[in-house]
């Protein structure tokens, strides 16, 4: 596996994380023995990196890592103080007709305490397919833009399920009938959630950074099937 490098300077490396790759080993993924993104990048670049934020294993897209451990906190402060704009795209079940601000607490898996979480969901494109999915004779999907104001674990997946528009390929919070249809019709079983961009002012160089991660191949395949316009 070769990981695409989106941006690199003396302090950070930003990569396009593939689907189904852990950032690092953790208790929650203790049964997964595959190489992590940190392992792959260490072999690819020849030096260690330190993650500033996290993406779920099944989520692809922009991931920011620090070259020096002492700089992690400096960049994490951008996320903690909402000085970084995170944008995701997702494919969800059903039609999202208008922008929605989802403001619903999400449970922390460590403490079991609910914490405030906020996501702005904006519809982009939609499609009706003449493919039956139980209990309907057709199936409907929306392409949405998601902007989380907080960074809770599984926040976007939980929030989209909360408004009855679960992400396609989400085997924990999603709809098994639609997931199965994507497997059978399109040979796709990945989660359709992609961290498309990060925008921030570099806290060390003061440079304005705007980074975009290309869509995975399964996204391009499905968007072509659906007749959706490219937005990259």
Domain CATH number, residue 173: 3.30.2350.10
Q: What is the pLDDT of residue 25?
A: 66
The answer to whether position 231 is within a domain reads: no
Q: What is the mean pLDDT of the chain?
A: 94
Residue 95 placed within a domain: yes
| Segment 93-111 mean pLDDT | 93
Annotated catalytic, 56? Answer: yes
Would residue 232 count as lying in a domain?
no
What is the pLDDT confidence band of residue 111, given thresholds at 50, 70 and 90? Answer: confident
- Could you tell me if 155 and 73 are in contact, meaning their C-beta atoms sit under 8 angstroms apart? no
In a domain, 191, yes or no: yes
The CA–CA distances, whole Å, from 133 to 36, 97, 142 equal 35, 20, 15
Per the structure, the complete domain to which residue 97 belongs is given by 4-226
Q: How many domains does the chain have?
A: 1
Query: What is the predicted pLDDT for the residue at 22?
Result: 92
pLDDT attached to residue 150 = 92
Q: 227-231: which pairs have CB atoms within 8 A and are 24 or more residues apart?
A: 227/127, 228/125, 228/127, 228/143, 229/125, 231/89, 231/124
Element at 102 (helix H, strand E): strand 100-103
Cβ neighbours for 101, distance < 8 A, ≥ 6 positions apart: 118, 119, 120, 121
Lowest mean pLDDT among 14-18, 29-33, 163-167: 29-33
**CA 140, CA 27: separation in Å to the nearest integer?**
37
For 180, the token pair is 């199965």
pLDDT grade, residue 156 (50/70/90)?
very high
Question: Is 130 among the domain residues?
Answer: yes
**Which residue of the set 9, 34, 56, 218 is catalytic?**
56
Q: Does the predicted TM-score (pTM) go above 0.85?
A: yes
Q: Which of 6-20, 22-36, 139-153, 200-214 has the lowest mean pLDDT?
A: 22-36
Does 33 score more than 80 pLDDT?
A: no
């Amino acid at each position: 596996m070769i990981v695409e490098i989106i941006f690199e300077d003396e302090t950070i490396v930003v990569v396009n994380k593939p689907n189904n790759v852990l950032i690092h080993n953790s208790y929650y993924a203790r049964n997964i023995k595959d190489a992590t993104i940190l392992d792959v990048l260490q072999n690819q670049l020849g030096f260690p990196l330190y993650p500033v934020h996290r993406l779920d294993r099944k989520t692809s897209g922009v991931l920011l890592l620090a070259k020096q451990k002492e700089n992690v906190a400096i960049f994490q402060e951008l996320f903690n103080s909402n000085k970084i704009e995170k944008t995701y795209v997702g494919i969800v079940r059903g039609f999202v007709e208008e922008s929605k601000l989802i403001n619903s607490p999400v449970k922390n898996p460590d403490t079991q305490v609910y914490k405030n979480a906020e996501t702005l969901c904006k519809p982009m494109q939609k499609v009706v397919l003449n493919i039956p999915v139980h209990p309907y004779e057709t199936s409907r999907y929306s392409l949405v833009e998601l902007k989380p104001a907080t960074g809770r674990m599984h926040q976007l997946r939980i929030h989209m399920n909360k408004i009855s528009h679960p992400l396609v390929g989400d085997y924990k919070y999603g709809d098994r009938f639609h997931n199965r249809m994507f497997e059978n019709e399109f040979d796709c079983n990945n989660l359709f959630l992609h961290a498309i961009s990060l925008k921030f002012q570099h806290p060390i160089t003061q440079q304005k950074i705007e980074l975009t991660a290309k869509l995975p191949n399964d996204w391009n395949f499905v968007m072509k099937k659906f007749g959706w316009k490219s937005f990259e």
